[in-house]
Structure 1
Amino acid sequence: MITLNDYLYSGDTIFRILRNYTNDLRTDAKKTGNAIDQIHCNFLIQIRELLEHNDFLTAQSQIIREFYKFMAKKYPLLAFTFKGRIKSLIRAEEKFNGYIVEYIYNYYKDHGTYPTVEQLKERLSCFRDLIAYRIVISMPRCHYKTKEDAERAELEYLYQIANELPGFLEERGFTAEPAKGIMESTSPLLSEEVRPYYRDYISHRTSESGEEEYQSLHLTLYDNCSRSYMEFQLRTKQMDDAAEIGPVNHLGYEKRQQEERSRRDRIPKGENIYFDEAYERGMKLASLELSELDVNMFAAANNSLINDGCGLYRGRLILPYEHLSRFQNNLID
């Protein structure tokens, strides 16, 4: 079985690693008739094209910048950041194989049989966050008497921004994708017009265990110019800190996901090749010692592409904007 791990010690650039892995995987898939590996190859090609930072990403980020300028004018008291990233190769590979393991496991648990190849293909057509943008807002506490008042104002502003974002981007060539009832918002701050498009992890934040949970607003859009999907995440600084460096940080989330996907007590080895291969690829990636990888971080794929190593296990940044509130700017002056 061919795995990404086999190519991470060759001293090649990330683009050559992707090319060689994809070509060998496709050759093997044709030989064995493995339809899911064929889907896997197409997924890897999509990742490679994104990591090459094609011109459409520059055009896309310029449109996002227009919303940044809109916010700077409409909300001068707010501090906020705009960030964009392309999902890293290792994380994308983990997610692809994790979806296979999770779907087959849950299907077998519920039905006692395995899903068809067509059902599995449909499940693997749901990648919408390979390109992701994040807006994080903060209200300087000097504008409010108490911390609680500032946090309440932040939340109101966050939903105001959420109400304006879909329409703003739809006027510029994007289409908001319905969330199909997943994490449907119960907040009165979100307008009825945009409610069907958001997954609201804020109004659903309560935990039976009493533990703090992930909070964010998620919106998926389709870029009609580049024919690609992207995801927007909207958070307050407190929510972002909790997700990035706090109790619900992404590393903790990944560990929980790995634990959930590592169970194969219900799936006997050898009964489902798609489960077996995805499970093995996922476990190999989980055991990677990143410091020992041999990837050429500086050679260029060609004269127009500079490969600095970003995109292997850290997402490639495509948009960094930061806006200080009027109060903070006054301090600087």
Structure 2
Amino acid sequence: MITLNDYLYSGDTIFRILQKYTTDLRKDAKKHRNEIDMMHCNFLVQIRELLEHNDFLTAQSRKITEFYKYMAKEYPYLAFTFKGRIKSLIRAEQKFNSYVVEYIYHYYEEHGTYPSASQLKTRLSCFRDLIAYRIVICMPKCHYNSEEERTEAELKCLYEIANVLPDFLEERGFTAEPAHGVQESISPLMDESVRPYYRDYISHHSEDQYQSLHITFYDNSSRSYMEVQLRTKTMDDVAEIGAANHLGYEKKQEKERSKRDAIPEGKNRYFDEAYERGKRLTGLDLSGLDVNMFAAIDNHLINDGCGLYRGRLILPYEHLSRFQNDLID
């Protein structure tokens, strides 16, 4: 079986690694008539094209920046950041394989049989977040008498921004994609007109405390999908360094092991290969890798300038509140 791990110790650049991995995977897929690995190859080609930072990303980020300027004008007292990132190679590879595992497992649970390759390919055509932008807001404490009052105002502001975003980007060549009822918002703060497009992880509480608003757009000029996430600073902290990051990881590992128990090895080759690839990536010791431009002292101290682990940064912007800028006495 061809796995990404086998190419991460050669000292090559990330692009050479992707090229070699894709070439060998394609040869193996043709030899064994593996339709899913052929689709996997096309997915890897897409990742490489994104990591090369094509011109369309610059044009796209400029349009997103217009919403940043809108917010700076409309919310001068609000602090917020805009970030854009292409999903990293390791994270993208993990996600592709986890989609295979998830779909086969749930299909087997429901039907007692395994899905066909064509059914699985349909499921794998749904990647919409290889390009992602994140808007994180924070209301300065000096405006409010209590933390509860500040949190309530911050949440109201977040939904207000979410209500404006779809129409704003529609006017600039983007089309909001329906969420098809996935995590449909039940918040009274969200307008009915935009409700079908958002996946609301705030009004739907999760065990790992993850909270965020997600919406997917199709960029008509570049013919690519992108995801926009909206969060408060507290929500972002929980997702990045809090319970949603650490506890969620442990629970995810337990769930993956239970799926392996439900579908014994040898019953479905697509499941077997995807599960093994995901397992190997999860156990990766970053300090032992040899990838040009990548260095890691351990799995926590990471310097990634090539899009291997953290992804390629597109858009970093930070807007300070007028109070933070000391413009008001």
Could you tell me the TM-score, scaled by structure 2's length?
0.94
Distance 1:157 1:322 in 2: 17
Distance 1:101 1:46 in 2: 21
Partner of 1:314: 310
Alignment of 1:240-259 (within 5 A): 240-249=236-245, 251-259=246-254
Does residue 273 (structure 1) correspond to residue 269 (structure 2)? The answer is yes
Question: How far apart are 1:317 and its partner, in Å?
Answer: 1.0
Question: How far apart are 1:257 and its partner, in Å?
Answer: 2.4
Partner of 1:237: 233
- AA aligned to 1:97 is N
Name the SS for the 2:323 alignment partner. Answer: helix
Number of aligned positions between the proteins: 319
Residue-by-residue CA offset, 1:31-72 (whole Å, 9 max, x unaligned): 111000000000000110111110011011100100000000
Residue-by-residue CA offset, 1:167-200 (whole Å, 9 max, x unaligned): 0001001000000001111111100110000011
Q: Quick check: 1:14–1:312 contact (8 Å CA) kept in 2?
A: yes
Partner of 1:162: 162
Partner of 1:143: 143
Does residue 261 (structure 1) correspond to residue 256 (structure 2)? The answer is yes
Q: Quick check: 2:210–2:239 contact (8 Å CA) kept in 1?
A: yes
Alignment of 1:88-167 (within 5 A): 88-167=88-167
Partner of 1:283: 279
Partner of 1:12: 12
Alignment of 1:212-231 (within 5 A): 213-231=209-227
Question: How far apart are 1:332 and its partner, in Å?
Answer: 9.3
Partner of 2:300: none
Change (3 A) 1:82 1:309: closer
Distance 1:321 1:94 in 2: 28
Q: Quick check: 2:208–2:247 contact (8 Å CA) kept in 1?
A: no
Distance 2:247 2:103 in 1: 21
Question: How far apart are 1:29 and its partner, in Å?
Answer: 0.8
Change (3 A) 1:36 1:150: same
Q: Quick check: 1:137–1:158 contact (8 Å CA) kept in 2?
A: yes
Distance 1:199 1:261 in 2: 24
Q: Quick check: 2:238–2:244 contact (8 Å CA) kept in 1?
A: yes
Residue-by-residue CA offset, 1:67-91 (whole Å, 9 max, x unaligned): 0000000111100000111111011
Name the SS for the 2:237 alignment partner. Answer: helix
Alignment of 1:72-91 (within 5 A): 72-91=72-91
Residue-by-residue CA offset, 1:98-153 (whole Å, 9 max, x unaligned): 11111111111221100011110011011111111000101111111111111111
Unaligned runs of 5+ in 2: 295-303
- AA aligned to 1:293 is L
Does residue 200 (structure 1) correspond to residue 200 (structure 2)? The answer is yes
Partner of 1:180: 180
Distance 2:9 2:71 in 1: 45
Distance 1:254 1:45 in 2: 28
Partner of 2:291: 295
Partner of 1:302: none
Alignment of 1:9-88 (within 5 A): 9-88=9-88
Question: How far apart are 1:212 and its partner, in Å?
Answer: 5.6
Could you tell me the TM-score, scaled by structure 1's length?
0.93
Question: How far apart are 1:330 and its partner, in Å?
Answer: 1.8
Name the SS for the 2:315 alignment partner. Answer: strand
Distance 2:13 2:140 in 1: 44
Residue-by-residue CA offset, 1:238-262 (whole Å, 9 max, x unaligned): 111111111112x443333233123
Distance 2:127 2:141 in 1: 38
Change (3 A) 1:104 1:293: same
Name the SS for the 2:277 alignment partner. Answer: helix
Change (3 A) 1:228 1:258: farther
Distance 1:313 1:331 in 2: 39
Q: Quick check: 1:14–1:309 contact (8 Å CA) kept in 2?
A: no
Q: Give the ranges of 4+ consecutive aligned residues of structure 1 lying more than 3 Å apart after TM superposition.
A: none
Question: How far apart are 1:331 and its partner, in Å?
Answer: 5.9
